[in-house]
Structure formats: C-alpha cells, structure tokens
C-alpha cells in the first residue's frame, strides 16, 4: 500500500499551486484596477459636473462683452469671440453683474429714458433702483444684441490688465430713483438697459498663475488645481490676486477642483462652451483615469 507522495508529485503540486497563485494575483490586480477606475470615474465625473454647474451659474450672470482669454506669461488678452482656433489663453475672465439684487427686485436694469434725457446734462439717470450703496459697482450699458458694449475699442472698455475702462462708469445713487455718473470719463450715449457690474472673475489652473502669491499661501495647491478668483474690479485698475503680471493684485480665491489637465472655453452663437480635461494617475502604476466634460452656457 502506498503511504506518501513521491518527490516528483510534490514538485508538480507546488508548480501547479504557484501557477494558480500567479494567475489569481494577476486577476485580482486587474479587478482592483478596474474597480479603482470605475470608482474614480464616477467620483471625478460627479465632482466635475458640480464644478461646471457652479461655473455655469456664475457665467450666466456675465456681462457678455467682458469675457476674455488672458495669457499670464505675456500679459496679453483677447475677447473670447476674437480668439482663433490655434490660439491659447490659459485664463478665462469675465465681469459679472449684481444678479443677487436683480433677482431680489431691488432694480430692474432699465433706465427711464424720457425722464433721464431731460437731466442728462449733469449725467443723472432715473431708474427704479433702490440700492443705497453703489461704491463698489460700476455702470455698464447694454447696447445692441444685449452684448454690453457698443464701442469699437474693446481693449480699453473695461480696464483689463492695465488698459482704460472707458465703458465702465463709477456712479453714486440717490434713492430711490437717481443714478449719477461720477466717473472722470462720461458716457457718450444713453441706452435703455444697463448692468451694475459687481466683480470680475477668473478661472485658471495653478500651473498657469503665480503660485507664490500671498492669497494662495496656506492652500494645498498643485499644478493641476483649478482655482476661481473673485472680488476684484478691473475698472478700478485691479487684477486677480495671483496674476504674475498684475500690479494691482486684489480679491479672493477658492479651489474648484484638482486633477485638471486642461481648461478651454470657446464662444459659439453667443454661447460659451467650457471644457474640462480631467486626468488622475494611480500611484505606482501607469494606469490612470482621463476624460473630458463640456458645459454650454447661454
């Protein structure tokens, strides 16, 4: 009667177990990678959608003619509708109107033209405005097609990056119905509709701005971190707080999202199309998650 395995049989069993172990390890590793990718795609997709929705909400309250692409390395900027397909501007900037007070019914954004014309010699407009403090706002008329500006010199319209602000006017209010233009530059024309400019906004990746800026200290910022800058006013000579070319740095900043490999914006038929490229690598491997997501803003 046979009572034990032979040496050869033991070796064969060990070899079979080793082969099965290697195959099982590879299968488990592949399953782990697939699980990781599915989890990260779901997480990043949801996060990027939230970010795009937030941007869309802010951009919906934009003054259309103020939207620019800005190159922090050269200091040049260009209006979004004039940017060519082969041109790249790393920062998207725009001026937003006071949508909160507009939604609350504090003002309608329309001028009483009949009454204003008789008093415009002293640059006073009559409107249904009820705001008492306009010290940090400017008036921008909405002209043809509601684009926010009817002049030809867009470079010097809103004060972007050291330029003049010929189309954004400092004002004071005398409640309940009077707005007086106090700016040294006066409007040449009155239009029925106007905006109360509240703040400028900028969206950029940390790789493209000044990461040593004081406003970024204390924040955990990598090159692929996308940031939102706000609470600064170009018509007063200010620029966002991490502008490497800016002498009038001002405002605040918040982190929107990490793992942003690219940010692009184009204008098509008076709509903005914002695209985010999301890229995350799994540490210690060459496996990663990469996808793009677009949002159209009217």
10-residue averages of pLDDT along the chain (298 residues): 64 72 67 76 91 95 94 94 91 95 89 84 85 85 66 87 94 87 90 92 97 94 96 96 91 96 90 93 73 93
Query: Does a structural domain hold residue 277?
Result: no
Q: Which residues contact 215 (CB under 8 A, 6 or more apart)?
A: 241, 242, 249, 251, 252, 253
Instruction: Give me the numbers of helices (H) and strands (E) for the chain, helices first please.
Output: 3, 15
Distance in angstroms (rounded) separating the CA atoms of residues 63 and 79? 12
Contacts of 38-42 spanning 24+ positions with Cβ under 8 A:
40/280, 40/289, 41/289, 41/291
Query: Does a structural domain hold residue 244?
Result: yes
Instruction: Tell me the two tokens of residue 237.
Output: 């000579």
The predicted pLDDT at position 144 comes to 57
Query: Does a structural domain hold residue 170?
Result: yes
Query: Does a structural domain hold residue 98?
Result: yes
Q: What are phi and psi of 226, to 5 degrees?
A: -95, 130
Total count of domains within the chain:
1
Say if CB 145 and CB 153 are below 8 A apart: no
Query: Does a structural domain hold residue 112?
Result: yes
Query: Does a structural domain hold residue 173?
Result: yes
The predicted pLDDT at position 188 comes to 84
Query: Does a structural domain hold residue 290?
Result: no
Q: Which domain holds residue 84?
A: 61-258
Query: Does a structural domain hold residue 295?
Result: no
In terms of Cα–Cα distance, which of 225, 208, 211, 221 is closest to 260?
225
């Amino acid at each position: 009667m046979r009572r034990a395995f032979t040496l050869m049989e033991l070796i064969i069993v060990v070899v079979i177990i080793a082969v099965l172990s290697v195959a099982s390890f590879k299968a488990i590793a592949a399953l782990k990678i697939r699980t990781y990718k599915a989890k990260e795609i779901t997480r990043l997709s949801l996060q990027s959608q939230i970010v795009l929705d937030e941007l869309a909400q802010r951009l919906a309250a934009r003054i259309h003619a103020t939207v620019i692409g800005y190159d922090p390395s050269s200091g040049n900027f260009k209006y979004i509708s004039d940017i060519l397909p082969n041109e790249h501007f790393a920062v998207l900037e725009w001026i937003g109107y006071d949508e909160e007070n507009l939604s609350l019914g504090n003002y309608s954004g329309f001028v009483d033209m009949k009454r204003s014309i008789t008093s415009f010699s002293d640059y006073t407009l009559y409107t249904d405005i009820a705001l008492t403090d306009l010290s940090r706002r400017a008036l921008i008329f909405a002209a043809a097609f509601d684009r926010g500006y009817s002049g030809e010199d867009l470079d010097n319209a809103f004060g972007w990056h050291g330029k003049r602000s010929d189309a954004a006017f400092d004002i004071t209010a005398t409640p309940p119905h009077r707005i007086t233009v106090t700016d040294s530059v006066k409007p040449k024309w009155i239009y029925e509709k106007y905006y109360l400019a509240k703040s400028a906004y900028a969206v950029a990746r940390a790789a493209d701005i000044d990461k040593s800026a004081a406003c970024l200290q204390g924040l955990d910022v990598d090159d692929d971190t996308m940031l939102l800058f706000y609470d600064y006013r170009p018509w007063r000579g200010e620029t966002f707080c991490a502008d490497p070319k800016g002498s009038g740095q001002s405002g605040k900043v918040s982190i929107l999202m990490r793992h942003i490999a690219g940010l692009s914006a184009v204008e098509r038929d008076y709509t903005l199309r914002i695209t985010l490229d999301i890229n995350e690598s799994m540490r210690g491997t060459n496996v990663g998650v990469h996808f793009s997501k677009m949002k159209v803003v009217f």
